Chains A and B, each alone.
Chain A
Amino acid sequence: MDNTREKLLEIKNLQKHFNIDRNNVLRAVDGISFDIYKGETFGLVGESGCGKSTAGRTILRLYEATAGEVNFHGENVHAKKSKKELKKFNRSMQMIFQDPYASLNPRMTVKDIIAEGLDIHGLVKSKAERTKRVNELLETVGLNSDHGNRYPHEFSGGQRQRIGIARALAVNPDFIVADEPISALDVSIQAQVVNLLIRLQKERGLTYLFIAHDLSMVKHISDRVGVMYLGSMAEIASSEMLYEEPLHPYTQALLSAIPLPDPEVERSRERIILEGDVPSPINPPSGCRFRTRCPFAMEVCGKVTPESIEHKPEHWVACHLYDDRYNEEYKAKQ
């Protein structure tokens, strides 16, 4: 491993549970651990309800964690903090939301939306400076200064997402959580926004947590990818490794399910089709979360929760098939 990489975020056994009623707890995120290095894009993928968005929000402390730690620059985000400390921290972490229609206040002008962070953190001294900053930001994201005086409803989805990006950039953050930033956009517009995000990262040395369910886009933008299933982390690897050689049966099924825009390939390929649906996170299966749909499930999978093991350098997988204590039968078959 490259030791020169600096850890920006260290997520240790992060849990976020929601109380549904007196007897039921929804385990949205149930003990995930991973690191995000400075300047990289970490992709977080999984199907709806797997906890990826909750994980992103808990990392930013938009939700209080139930247990676990998030260390940002070596400092625990979830430790008790004064308002002032939190403010400093909020400035360095920002978020871009999925729905560009719902995440911009319709009663504020674009200028005020973008400048809100500048005002709260007192980053500009005068009105002229504020206008100048906003105009710079608008240009950075490919809009122009006239757009500042308009309201969100006057913009298309792609343009609104650009406004959301400008708002996140206003306070010069180090780290941005992008929660499905392109899912609500058309294909041709998605590419515009992804290109913009990549360009900004290069120019400003940003670190991204990119949450998405579209695996081909995640592969395109991410350096490393984590695959979540029902609140747990199934696999973590560099995006090349993950797509070249997926280890976890869930990752394999997920990759195999993406329809590729190539008719010949589509006609000839063998798909792994998973049966059934994702179980409820209120009462998840014992042991491995995926075992109820896993084509390779063994007896041990119901009893012991698999730990994440480094099967190959930098390639982590939480599956008993790769644990030498349990996989004799599977190895014999291969």
Chain B
Amino acid sequence: MSKILEVNDLSVSFDTYGGDVKAVRGVTFELNEKETLAIVGESGSGKSVTAQSLMRLIPMPPGKFVNGSIIFKGQDLTEKSEKQMEAIRGKEISMIFQDPMTSLNPTMTIGKQISESLIKHQNMSKKDAHERGIELLKLVGIPTPEKRINQYPHEYSGGMRQRAMIAIALACNPKILIADEPTTALDVTIQAQIMDLMKELQEKTGTAILLITHDLGVVANAAHRVAVMYGGKIVETGDVDEIFYNPQHPYTWGLLGSMPKLDNRDEELQAIPGSPPDLADPPKGCPFVTRCPFAMKVCENRMPEYTDVSNTQKAACWLLDERAPKVEIPESARVGGTKVHG
């Protein structure tokens, strides 16, 4: 697998009345061809800001790149001008958003919204773009696309709007598809349809997907690799199996423990006490220190470096330091043998 995107030590801050909010604080990851990388985390963890930075969708000011680079095809995207970005957005890197109700233009037909990028990026004629639009709608599973292409977003249901948005995003065969909570606003039965569609399209087109989500079920279903974000940092990353079956960071344990298991009811959920840190004044050491049941003195003062757990997995936690006491993965965070019903 070859690297298609490399993010190095990216830091993004926002200038606000309350001071500089350091939303993303030194994030490093890479995305390979044909793979799905999931970034998981809670609201305020910096996952959406990371995703939007890749597309340069962060309004600057108040946002600013403090540090780091985003390397795509040998070029640093943080240094591109707005004009240069226009040639990349929608063509090389596309994005689908959480809320299909607000991210489609209500005054334009779906067909026009699909053609827009085809005409701009691929110099297609209006007629060809229309034809291709019908093909794309068919590809994403919209019935009677010849009729549907001339309709407006309000005539579509929620699931169909998300399908249309995927069609728009895929119109120019992008190398990377960024999906920011693509199924959060949808019902479970529709969510299952959309997740299936995205996997099927990935197989057909080979697009790399960066999936931003807070739902560990969706991650288990769709991702090849996972990065767990907390307090603006990636605290753990690894293959999907490593993250679920051999998690190393106490925050990952907490996330896995707070999910109800379908097959046992009586156990109390392992809630993570407290709430996430204020990123206007981020903690000096590990961001999870105030909520971590295993916190030590060193955690307050120094951010841990990444420790390699395997070739593919690493975590930033002082517990992995050889001088730290050994801590077993808590029972509540153990995943496996989930019974399937229905």
> What is the interface of chain A, defined by CB distance below 8 A to chain B?
47-48, 156, 158-159, 186-192, 194-195, 198, 213, 215-217, 219-220, 239-240, 243-246, 251-266, 269, 271-274, 277-278
* Cβ contact within 8 Å between B260 and A219: yes
* Cβ contact within 8 Å between B215 and A263: no
> Which of B241, B255, B262, B272 has a CB less than 8 Å from the CB of A219?
B262
Q: In the docked arrangement, what's the CA distance between A269 and B213, Å?
A: 21
Tier of interface size on chain B: 35 or more
> What is the interface of chain B, defined by CB distance below 8 A to chain A?
42-43, 157-160, 187-193, 195-196, 214-221, 240-241, 244-245, 254-262, 265, 268-273, 275, 335-338, 340-342
Q: Is the interface of A mostly helix, strand, loop or mixed?
A: helix
* Cβ contact within 8 Å between A47 and B189: yes
* Cβ contact within 8 Å between B259 and A216: yes
* Cβ contact within 8 Å between B188 and A254: yes
B residues in contact with A266, CB < 8 Å: 217, 220-221
* Cβ contact within 8 Å between B220 and A261: yes
Number of A-B contacts (CB under 8 A): 144
> Which of B158, B214, B273, B338 has a CB less than 8 Å from the CB of A262?
B338
* Cβ contact within 8 Å between A220 and B241: no
* Cβ contact within 8 Å between A194 and B269: yes
Q: In the docked arrangement, what's the CA distance between A209 and B195, Å?
A: 31
* Cβ contact within 8 Å between A188 and B272: yes
A residues in contact with B268, CB < 8 Å: 195, 198
* Cβ contact within 8 Å between B338 and A260: yes
* Cβ contact within 8 Å between A263 and B241: yes
* Cβ contact within 8 Å between A273 and B196: yes
Please name the residue on chain B nearest to A186 by beta carbon.
B42
Q: A186-B43, A191-B272, A243-B341 are in contact. Are A48 and B187 (CB under 8 A)?
A: yes
Please name the residue on chain B nearest to A270 by beta carbon.
B340
* Cβ contact within 8 Å between B188 and A215: yes
B residues in contact with A48, CB < 8 Å: 187
* Cβ contact within 8 Å between A263 and B240: yes
Q: In the docked arrangement, what's the CA distance between A261 and B272, Å?
A: 18
* Cβ contact within 8 Å between B192 and A271: yes
* Cβ contact within 8 Å between B188 and A257: yes
A residues in contact with B215, CB < 8 Å: 259
Nearest-neighbour CB distance to chain B for A28, whole angstroms, equals: 16
Mind listing 10 A-B residue pairs with CB under 8 Å?
A187-B216, A188-B258, A194-B260, A216-B261, A239-B265, A259-B221, A262-B220, A263-B244, A273-B193, A277-B190
A residues in contact with B258, CB < 8 Å: 187-188, 190-191
> Which of A243, A251, A257, A264 has a CB less than 8 Å from the CB of B241?
A264
* Cβ contact within 8 Å between B192 and A257: yes
Q: In the docked arrangement, what's the CA distance between A48 and B270, Å?
A: 28
* Cβ contact within 8 Å between A264 and B336: yes
Q: In the docked arrangement, what's the CA distance between A213 and B158, Å?
A: 16
